[in-house]
Amino acid sequence: MASANFFPYSVNSLVRLIVQFPLFAYIVGFLEDFVIGIMRTGPIPKHIALIMDGNRTYAKNHRLPLKDGHFAGANALVKVLEVCYKVGIDQVTIYAFSLENFNRSKEEVDTLFGMLRDKLKLISENEESYARYNKVRIKVIGNRSFIPDDILKDLEYIEQITKEKSSRKTLHVCFPYTARDEITHSIKSIVQKRVLGEIESQDDITAATIEENFYFGKDVYPLDILVRTSGHTRLSDFMLWQCNEGCTIEFPDVLWPDFGFLCIVSVLFKWSYYKTIQLEEEAIQGKKPNLKEVIPPVLLHELPSPPPAASVSRK
């Protein structure tokens, strides 16, 4: 389904080659801004999540060391983030590191940890750096007990300096995260609150309570789009609770470092197209009223008693 809408790899690399000439770069940048300007006039998703899969396959295909594959992935991420925020998406969630990734070699895990910290530092260090200039709040989502102390300290500092800005743009970095761990964490904290008496009765526990106790916290929009690159049609333990209702899931057959402007824009365009149709249908037919509230059930014996029953044949 998705593959038909994406350019194959060779075209993508050709485009990248052309983009590198300064004059072309200027023209391409202008065109990109034009496309973004067009998209901004349509419906825009509020929350998009990205599973960045394919860095290692990319490195293997290009005969590069693993590290360079991850580096190319990080560059692609910066580009995609820029497009997302320019289009007007408020919240972007990226799957940076899974709890299962600890199964990888220690060397690679350390590289990933270090690179993530360096990249986040780079975009938030100075007043002029990307995140602070564009007022993007960075939030680390996940089980912090697995992060080494020195890296955790840096991450908390990054969260701190980007927090002060009163902005709606947020970047959720899932690190280290799995959806099952998140649901477990939520149930655990609910049980703890129940023991402490913060939740008074078991009837107060609803699906909303579980969502509030996620790592994401309360002020998060429902997920609109989930993108998993590299063509695998699995969710790999990412945002399972959030993505199974009212969310468009895309599995483009592109490796993450090749996931460029055209790919992200086509995903957004497709969503925008179907959303427009949905809005149109709602405008024509009107939103269906909530049956549950409009027709409340009535108890029969509560009704006023009917007139006496009479029969013609019997006396």
Partner 1 sequence: MANILETVGLNSQADATLDQVTADATATTKSRRRKGIIVQPENVNEQLKTDRRQPPSSNRTTNPLTVSLGLTRDLVKQNKTTNSVLELIGFYINHFILLSLFFVISIFKNIQFAYRYMFLKVLTLSYYPNKSPQVIREDVNKLSKIPKVVSCILDLKDDEDENGGVLGLTNQIGELAAWCISAGIGQLIIYEYSGVLNQSSESLTSLSRYISKNLTLYFGTDTKPTFSITIPHKNLITFSEGASSTNRKVDLEISLISYVDGKPTIVDLARTMGELAVNGELSPKDINAELIDGELTDLVGPEPDLLISFAPSLDLEDYPPWHIRLTEIYWEPDNKEVSYPIFIRALQQFSNCKVNIGK
276-295 residues near partner 1, rule: CB under 8 A: 276-278, 280-281, 283, 286-295
**Min separation Cβ 17 and partner 1, Å:** 27
**Exposed/middle/buried for residue 112 (C-beta within 10 Å: 0-12, 13-18, 19+):** buried
Chosen residue from 21, 24, 26, 274 binding partner 1 by CB under 8 A: 274
**Min separation Cβ 314 and partner 1, Å:** 30
Q: Please answer whether residues 18 and 29 qualify as being in contact, where contact means their C-beta atoms are separated by less than 8 angstroms.
A: no
Backbone angles phi, psi at 201, to 5 degrees: -130, 160
Please count the residues of this chain forming the interface with partner 1, following the rule CB under 8 A.
81
Q: Please answer whether residues 256 and 76 qualify as being in contact, where contact means their C-beta atoms are separated by less than 8 angstroms.
A: yes
Chosen residue from 106, 127, 207, 308 binding partner 1 by CB under 8 A: 207
Secondary element (H or E) of residue 141: strand 137-141
Chosen residue from 20, 149, 302, 314 binding partner 1 by CB under 8 A: 302
Of 153 and 234, the one with the shorter C-beta distance to partner 1 is 234
Tokens describing residue 212 = 């509030």
Q: Please answer whether residues 52 and 70 qualify as being in contact, where contact means their C-beta atoms are separated by less than 8 angstroms.
A: no
Of 16 and 40, the one with the shorter C-beta distance to partner 1 is 40
Beta-sheet strands, E only, within 90-129: 91-95
CA nearest neighbour of 8 among 217, 258, 222? 258
What number of CA atoms fall less than 13 Å from residue 261's CA on the CB side? 18
Of 129 and 189, the one with the shorter C-beta distance to partner 1 is 189
Chosen residue from 146, 240, 253, 262 binding partner 1 by CB under 8 A: 240
Of 162-201, binders to partner 1 (CB under 8 A) are 179-181, 183-184, 186-188, 190-192, 194-195, 199
Q: How many residues does the chain have?
A: 315
Of 20 and 206, the one with the shorter C-beta distance to partner 1 is 206
CA nearest neighbour of 228 among 247, 248, 197, 249? 249
**Residue 101 makes contact with partner 1 by CB under 8 A:** yes
Of 118-137, binders to partner 1 (CB under 8 A) are none
Q: Please answer whether residues 171 and 92 qualify as being in contact, where contact means their C-beta atoms are separated by less than 8 angstroms.
A: yes
**Residue 305 makes contact with partner 1 by CB under 8 A:** no
Chosen residue from 106, 145, 303, 305 binding partner 1 by CB under 8 A: 303
SS3 category, 300 = helix
Of 152 and 205, the one with the shorter C-beta distance to partner 1 is 205
Of 41 and 311, the one with the shorter C-beta distance to partner 1 is 41
Of 91 and 186, the one with the shorter C-beta distance to partner 1 is 186
Of 28-57, binders to partner 1 (CB under 8 A) are 37-42
Site track for partner 1 across 79-98, x = CB under 8 A: -------------------x
Rounded to an integer, what distance in angstroms lies between the CA atom of residue 174 and that of residue 91? 13
Q: Cα dist. 8→88, 148, 213, 262 in Å?
A: 27, 39, 41, 11
**Min separation Cβ 170 and partner 1, Å:** 21
**Min separation Cβ 191 and partner 1, Å:** 5
The alpha carbon of 104 is separated from its chain's Cα centroid by a whole number of angstroms, namely 24
Chosen residue from 46, 67, 104, 135 binding partner 1 by CB under 8 A: 104
Of 109 and 151, the one with the shorter C-beta distance to partner 1 is 109
Rounded to an integer, what distance in angstroms lies between the CA atom of residue 71 and that of residue 58? 11
